[in-house]
Amino acid sequence: MFGHPKGLFLLFTTELWERFSYYAMRAILVLYLVDKVQTEGGHGLGWSQADAISLYGTFTGLVYLTPLIGGWLADAHLGQRKAIYIGGFLMAAGQFLLGTPHAWVPGMEIEMFYLGLGTLILGNGLFKPNISTMVGDLYEEGDHRRDGAFTIFYMGINVGAFLSGIVVGSVVAAYDGNFQAGFICAGIGMIASLIIQFFFAQKLLGDIGTVPAAKLEQSKNEAKGEVRKEPLTKIERDRIKVIMVMGLFTIVFWAGFEQAGGLMNLFTNDFTDRMIGSWEVPTTWFQSLNAMFIVLFAPVIASIWIKLGKNEPNSPVKFALGLFFLAVGFLFMIGAVLEMGGDASVKSSMWWLVGAYFFHTMGELCLSPIGLSMVTKLAPLRIASLMMGAWFLFIAAANKIGGLVGSLIGHGGSVEDQLANAMAIFAGIAITSVLSGIILYLMADKLVDWMHGAEGKHDSEEQVLEEEIAVTAEHEAIKR
């Protein structure tokens, strides 16, 4: 279909509904926490903004931490297919626990809330790294369609994300601001993802994901009569170094980007003029801007890379571009604060937010699908899901750091102080992004060398192995 295996579009649809579920919950999580408690006429938990953003950072950080464990379990024991089923079931259960009406568990609202979040985190750990790894498994090594496949897959993620903000915002409004109705809506999306995968996986994916990767690698080596004594070859170690270095810069990007669900979400709710005539745009709808821009511009960016041909920038340079675009987006947020002039009674134009989300999206398109593709190209097969989990570990750190940075808006201080703090946060992220982008751009050639042929013209694997054997022999001679 469109030059790709049909299995790609099954994974596309499965991930679409899973991401609908996750982003629907993400769009309302902070708003639910800061809304008034039930006894005061609200439907939330009545937390402070700083506490809500801090918890948001912890939750999203753990969401990206548990894939490290889930990836290892799939590689060593479960296989990716089974891990996806178990993870999807747990995620659906977590959403429904969050949506449990408070009247059902009087006095235990917080306990049910944390139980729901914990179940979601565990389920996500099993689901997230393995669905991405299966996309890479559809293609043979060296298949030029792989980057394009991840861009298509990424569009599926963002169709779900786009629908989530619109649908959940409308559902919450229809139920008089009851955020728990939104959590139920998210749970239904997760059930849809599971049903699609269950009925079509065997037909369209065959045996992909049914055998743990470690056993698959062992079988291949035994068939070739190979017994690997060294855990990793020199090529594998160098390629893993690239993943680790790029991961550090990924932290900078996502720590800024994830302000969308926390600080920028609250800025939209409290300080932005959302009126169009007599109608007020729901806050959650702005969470769909990023996804809408990705759906519109992902094919454009992908076609630009193809048209550049030999002049296409390598992965590190694309990452650097992503960091520069992130900084431009925060310049728009600085503009929104400046427009208010320190007066909280003056609302900023919503067009500042549109501009910020647009440039953040351009940065994401230069970084996120390229990063997923890079991990599947560079990671050794026997630890592919584990390395995908390690990649999400960097994003976990970024989310926690992003939550800590966003919480610097203050614990219930004056509105003017919150505005001043927001300005400092936006400016600090912009400066950090630019500096990181410059450093990464200067390191690009060295990182490409460490990829050993995954990008650009470099030594073959045989040449590198010969070099490694020679160096090892020399070291042994010195020892003797």
Span 253-262, average pLDDT: 90
Top-confidence range, 51-60, 66-75, 133-142: 51-60
Q: How far, in Å, are 53, 57, 62, 274 from residue 397 at the CA level?
A: 15, 9, 9, 32
* Residue-level pLDDT at 223: 63
Lowest-confidence region among 4-18, 405-419, 434-448: 405-419
Band the pLDDT of 2: cuts 50, 70, 90: low
Helical spans, DSSP H, in 104-177:
109-137, 146-174
389/80 Cα distance (integer angstroms) = 12
Lowest-confidence region among 144-148, 162-166, 397-401: 144-148
* Residue-level pLDDT at 142: 67
* Residue-level pLDDT at 434: 97
Q: How far, in Å, are 212, 217, 227 from residue 222 at the CA level?
A: 16, 9, 7
The maximal CA–CA distance of the chain, rounded, in angstroms, is 86
Both structure tokens of 119: 């179940």
Q: Are 181 and 28 in contact (CB under 8 A)?
A: no
Band the pLDDT of 230: cuts 50, 70, 90: low
Q: Is the pLDDT of residue 220 over 90?
A: no
Closest CA to 134 of 76, 189, 194, 74: 74
Residue 37 — φ and ψ, nearest 5°?
A: -75, 165
Q: How far, in Å, are 128, 214, 233, 329, 381 from residue 75 at the CA level?
A: 13, 6, 19, 38, 9
Band the pLDDT of 453: cuts 50, 70, 90: confident
Band the pLDDT of 470: cuts 50, 70, 90: very low
Q: What is the DSSP letter of 37?
A: B
For the chain, percent of residues with pLDDT exceeding 90: 29
Q: Which residue bears the tokens 């291949």?
A: 220
Write the pLDDT tens digit of every residue in 397-411.
999 999 899 888 876
Q: Which residue bears the tokens 């915002």?
A: 169
Q: How far, in Å, are 34, 83, 134, 141, 151 from residue 157 at the CA level?
A: 28, 19, 15, 24, 10
* Residue-level pLDDT at 104: 84
For the chain, percent of residues with pLDDT exceeding 70: 88
Sequence letter at residue 150? F
The residues near 182 (Cβ < 8 Å, ≥ 6 apart) are 24, 25, 27, 28, 32, 99, 168, 169, 171, 172
Span 187-192, average pLDDT: 92
Top-confidence range, 77-81, 136-140, 401-405, 415-419: 401-405
Bridge partners for 273 per DSSP: 349
Residue 393 — φ and ψ, nearest 5°?
A: -65, -40
* Residue-level pLDDT at 354: 95
The residues near 213 (Cβ < 8 Å, ≥ 6 apart) are 74, 75, 80, 133, 381, 382, 383, 384, 385
Both structure tokens of 298: 């992902």
Q: Is 348 helix (H, G, I), strand (E, B) or coil?
A: strand
* Residue-level pLDDT at 40: 67
Sequence letter at residue 235? I
Q: Are 192 and 92 in contact (CB under 8 A)?
A: no
Residue with the larger pLDDT of the pair 71 and 125: 125
Span 202-217, average pLDDT: 76
Write the pLDDT tens digit of every residue in 19-51.
889 888 888 898 899 887 766 666 778 888 888
Band the pLDDT of 346: cuts 50, 70, 90: confident
176 HSE (CA, 13 A, CB side): 4
Averaged confidence pLDDT in the chain: 83
* Residue-level pLDDT at 480: 39
Confidence (pTM): 0.76
The helices-and-strands tally (H runs, E runs) of the chain is 16, 4
Q: Which residue bears the tokens 């720590």?
A: 255
Q: Is the pLDDT of residue 304 over 80?
A: yes
Span 59-67, average pLDDT: 87
